[in-house]
Amino acid sequence: MKSTLLYLGKAVLFGLVMAAVFLLAQQYLVKDHDNLYRSHGEGTVELSFAKAVRKAAPAVANIYNISIDQRQPLASGALQGLGSGVIMSKEGYILTNYHVIKKADEIVIALQDGRRFSAEVVGSDPETDLSVLKIDGDKLPVVPLNLNSLPQVGDVVLAIGNPYNLGQTITQGIISATGRNGLSSGYQDFLQTDAAINAGNSGGALIDTSGDLIGINTAAFQIGGGGGSNGISFAIPIRLAYSIMGKLIENGRVIRGALGISGEAVTAYMAQVLKLPEVQGVLITGVDRSGPAAAANLLPRDVIIEYAAETVTSSEMLMDRIAETKPGTEVIMTVIRQGQPYKVPVIVGEKVAEYN
């Protein structure tokens, strides 16, 4: 009798647990579907991104340049389509690509509701190809964003922009890769997508299926020439773009530390030649004569293995740490020279931005 009771009790418990699990799972699934499916009046359900589009698309603006015609300098200029931008806040801050606005005479922002504003440039960071613009307007549509979302390979994404100045266009694809860097500078950490991104999409939004902003599209890095999108496009992740935006609003520029060195990651072969204890660190290949590293007597062939008491694991990591250090700070590095480790104090300088 006791064993049957136990047996039955287990069955009941199992049943309840399963029921609870399915209820929870269903809730989760239904919540997820809300973003993907639009319910029709008849009760049928259809797959669509219309809801996500409605959330984000109004906040993606078209950017125009009023070009001053050299032949008719007094005539009112024609609007020339430059690219796209994303309205980030009610105050009217707009994120876009630096290359979109760098040659503009006078920037005009056109919202999807037909309103037009002239914009001022708050600041630009050529290093990450980002610029922040500002417009003054009431009831501006603001893009929803989730700074904690980490896009993963295979996630479905939508690109919103104004390709070839056709008018607002939504294209769909997936995240093809994350952490793509080395495309223009070490600071970018691109998302790669197969959503069609063409000239004019630059500065526009890459959103997830909930409508949250996850990146700023950058059409400037096309692989295979100027023939337009071929399934390989790039976007600047929102976390990076958002932090750059904060710095541009605060200082009008992004202040980065610099040592005035060039270097490369230590390979197994280098480690052997340089008699290093481990295959680790960054080999200095060049020293700027007037830079902070030269002032600290660092030489080519020195190997940096520690920066501010942190082990150097890769050249990207070292570049990031140097860039993040406030100029003027003294940092202790551990360097191996001729097989001998020793500590060097360096006063970090400021990296000079090149507005090319």
Instruction: Please report where in the chains the tokens 């549509």 appear, as a residue.
Output: 141
**Amino acid occupying residue 143:** V
Q: How far is the CB of 209 from other proteins (least distance, A)?
A: 10
Q: Is 34 a catalytic residue?
A: no
Measured in degrees and rounded to the nearest 5, phi and psi for residue 158 equal: -125, 135
Catalytic residue among 84, 131, 176, 202: 202
- 49 three-class SS: coil
Catalytic residue among 84, 99, 124, 302: 99
Size of the site for other proteins (CB under 8 A): 56
d(CA 186, CA 181): 6
| Exposure of 262 in the CB half-sphere (CA atoms within 13 A) | 4
Question: Using the rule CB under 8 A, is 164 a contact of other proteins?
Answer: yes
Binding mask 180-199 for other proteins (x = CB under 8 A): ---------------xx-xx
- 265 three-class SS: strand
Question: Using the rule CB under 8 A, is 155 a contact of other proteins?
Answer: no
Question: Using the rule CB under 8 A, is 218 a contact of other proteins?
Answer: no
Question: Using the rule CB under 8 A, is 206 a contact of other proteins?
Answer: no
Kindly indicate which of the ranges 4-12, 83-91, 135-143, 305-313 contains the residues binding other proteins, using the contact rule CB under 8 A: 4-12
Q: Which of residues 267-306 bind other proteins (CB under 8 A)?
A: none
Cα distances from 222 to residues 103, 185, 203, 218, 219, in angstroms, run 20, 15, 14, 9, 6
**DSSP conformational letter for 174:** E
First-residue to last-residue Cα distance in the chain: 86
Q: How far is the CB of 198 from other proteins (least distance, A)?
A: 5
Spatial CA neighbour of 216 closest among 204, 208, 228, 207: 204
| Pairing outcome for strands 340-347 and 330-337 | antiparallel
Q: Are 121 and 101 in contact (CB under 8 A)?
A: yes
Question: Using the rule CB under 8 A, is 139 a contact of other proteins?
Answer: no
Spatial CA neighbour of 123 closest among 246, 258, 256: 246
Kindly indicate which of the ranges 33-41, 179-187, 253-261, 276-284 contains the residues binding other proteins, using the contact rule CB under 8 A: 33-41
Q: Write out the two tokens for 25.
A: 């799972």
| Exposure of 161 in the CB half-sphere (CA atoms within 13 A) | 34
Residue from 6, 31, 48, 181 binding other proteins (CB under 8 A): 48
Question: Using the rule CB under 8 A, is 6 a contact of other proteins?
Answer: no
Supply the DSSP string of 236-275, one letter for each residue. Answer: EEHHHHHHHHHHHHHHSS---EE-SEEEEEPPHHHHHHTT
Question: Using the rule CB under 8 A, is 230 a contact of other proteins?
Answer: yes
Q: Is 40 a catalytic residue?
A: no
Q: How far is the CB of 77 from other proteins (least distance, A)?
A: 17
Kindly indicate which of the ranges 42-50, 101-109, 288-296, 307-315 contains the residues binding other proteins, using the contact rule CB under 8 A: 42-50
Instruction: Please report where in the chains the tokens 């104004």 appear, as a residue.
Output: 162
Question: Using the rule CB under 8 A, is 35 a contact of other proteins?
Answer: no
Catalytic residue among 129, 194, 208, 302: 129
Residue from 80, 172, 178, 262 binding other proteins (CB under 8 A): 172
Kindly indicate which of the ranges 47-55, 78-86, 124-132, 332-340 contains the residues binding other proteins, using the contact rule CB under 8 A: 47-55
Residue from 30, 147, 153, 279 binding other proteins (CB under 8 A): 30
- 197 three-class SS: coil
Residue from 32, 120, 136, 264 binding other proteins (CB under 8 A): 32
**Amino acid occupying residue 227:** G
Q: Write out the two tokens for 192.
A: 């790669």
Residues linked to residue 217 through DSSP beta bridges, in sequence order: 235
Question: Using the rule CB under 8 A, is 79 a contact of other proteins?
Answer: no
Q: Is 99 a catalytic residue?
A: yes
Q: Write out the two tokens for 290.
A: 């007037």
Kindly indicate which of the ranges 112-120, 124-132, 322-330, 346-354 contains the residues binding other proteins, using the contact rule CB under 8 A: 112-120
Under the rule (CB under 8 A), what is the footprint of other proteins?
5, 8-9, 11-12, 14-16, 18-19, 22-23, 25-26, 29-30, 32-33, 36-38, 45-54, 57, 113-116, 158, 163-164, 166-172, 195-196, 198-199, 225-230
Active site residues: 99, 129, 202
